[in-house]
Structure 1
Amino acid sequence: MTFAALQPLADRAALFVALRQDALSAAADALGEHRWDADLAAGTLTFTADADPSRQLVARAHLIATIAPGPRSLLWAWAHPSGDAQGVAAQLQAYGNEHGIAELTAPEVPFPAEVSGDDDWIAQAAHTIGAVAVELTGRSPYYSAPVGNGTRAVFVLDAPLAPLTVADAVMALPRVLSGISLPDARTSVWDLARLAGWTLAWTDDAFSGADVSDATGTATFRFDEQARISGIESTLHAQG
């Protein structure tokens, strides 16, 4: 567990986030061996192929927060010297004000006293914050960047990735679901449809299934008695 009050927001977005991170990884991996560079002044994050520097993936990057082991704290970008008080991260502050979540409204949030705050914990915390940012801003994917001395910066990206379609999700979900845990799969499927801009309809009053659809087709998620995803059926349209 990282920041307990924020975890439910990250959990809600978990399925959509996993699919968007998978798409970013695929796009970056297509470059082969590559490096990344952040330009805060320009507001960009660039992935560049080592073998051919002309091959790049350039994304508009919005700083959300930094997480540092020295002060053992998270600093929101709207309060950061390199951040923007009116930038994308301010949407998280606004949500915190509306819903009374102190961890989103305090400029700096200390690590929980009982955690180690080591590299692994900070990396996991960065993933939590990235998922929260996707949930509350609707922008995706996110990127967690090591910036020195154990500190990580979390960005949400406006990346040149195709919008997530039902057809794309159906292809990726067997791989993606094997690598994540969904505390509330029904809510995660609902939120996937919301964030992706799909249509969702529950199959019955018991919420034992959900149909999601867009122009590329329809997928039906089935849930077992523990509300876990037990199966996915799809009908996809031929794409011209």
Structure 2
Amino acid sequence: MTFAALQPLADRAALYSVIRQDQLSSAADALGEHRWDADMTAGTLTFTANADPSRQLVTRALLIATIAPGPRSMLWAWAHPQGDPQGIAAQLRAYGEEHGIAELTSAEVPFPADASGDEDWIAAAAHTVGGVAVELTGRSPYYSAPVGGGTRAVFLLDAPLPQLTVADAMIVMPRMLASFSLPDARTAVWDLARLAGWTLTWTDEAFSGATVVDATGSATFSFDEHARISNVQSSLGGQR
């Protein structure tokens, strides 16, 4: 556990976030071996092929927060010297004000007392913050960038990625579900449809299943008695 008050928000967006992260990874991997460079003045994060520097994936990078081991704290971008007080991170602060979440309204959030604060913990915390940003802004993907001294910066990216479709999601869904567990799978499926702009219909009043639909096809998720995903069946190829 990283920031306990923020985790439920990240959990809601978990399925959508991980698929969008996979889309970003695939686009960057298409460059072959590559590096990334952040230009805070220009507000860009660029992936560049090592073998051919003319091959690039250029994204607009919106700073959300930095997480640092020295002060053992997270600093929101709206309070950061290189951040924008009225930028995208201000949407998270507004949500915190509306719902009484101090971790979203405090400029600097200390690590929990029992947190190790090591590299692995900070990386996990960055994913939590990225998931919260996706959930509350509807924008994705996010990127967790090591920026020196053990500190990580979390960005939301405006990347040249295609809109996520049901067909695209079903191609990667078995791999995604095998790679990590969803704390609240039923809510994660609902939020996947919301964030992707699909139509979702519950299969019954007990919410034991959900069907998602867009122009590329449909998929039905079944849930077991513990609200875990037990099966996914899809029908693709333009079916509405």
Is TM more than 0.5 here? yes
Q: Does 1:148 align with 2:155?
A: no
SS in structure 1 of the partner of residue 183 of structure 2: coil
String of CA shifts for 1:167-190, please: whole Å, max 9, x gaps: 000101001111111011100000
Q: Is the 8 A contact 2:215 2:238 kept in 1?
A: no
Residue 52 of structure 1 aligns with which residue?
52
What's the Cα RMSD here?
Answer: 0.9
Shift of 1:238: 5.0
Match of 2:223 in 1: 223
Q: 5 Å matches for 1:163-174?
A: 163-174=163-174
Deviations 1:88-147 (CA, angstroms, capped at 9, x unpaired):
000000000000000000000000011110111001000100000000011100000000
Partner of residue 191, structure 1: 191
Secondary structure in 2 aligned to 1:93? helix
Q: Distance in 2 between matches of 1:96 and 1:181?
A: 27
Match of 1:214 in 2: 214
Alpha-carbon distance in 2 for matches of 1:146, 1:13: 23
The alpha-carbon deviation at position 20 of structure 1 amounts to 0.3
Alignment of 1:3-152 (within 5 A): 3-152=3-152
- Preserved contact between residue 201 and residue 210 of structure 2 (Cα < 8 Å): yes
Paired AA for residue 109 in structure 1: V
In the alignment, the residues of structure 1 paired with residue 150 and residue 183 of structure 2 have an alpha-carbon distance, to the nearest angstrom, of: 29
**Structure 1 counterpart of 2:214, which letter?**
D
Give ranges in structure 2 of 5+ residues lacking alignment: none
TM-score by length of structure 2 reads 0.98
SS in 2 for 1:133: helix
Where does structure 1 lack aligned partners over 5 or more consecutive residues?
none
Name the CA distance, whole Å, in 1 between partners of 2:94 and 2:62: 16
Instruction: Provide the rounded CA distance (Å) in 2 between the counterparts of 1:10 and 1:50.
Output: 33
Task: List, as ranges, runs of 4+ consecutive aligned residues in structure 1 with deviation greater than 4 Å.
Answer: none
- Counterparts of 2:76 and 2:86, CA distance in 1: 12
Residue 4 of structure 1 aligns with an amino acid whose one-letter code is A
* CA displacement 1:29-71 (0-9 Å, x = unmatched): 1100000000111111000000000100011110000000000
One-letter identity of the residue aligned with 1:213: V
SS class of match (1:92): helix
Among the aligned pairs, what percent are the same residue?
A: 79
Distance 2:53 2:82 in 1: 27
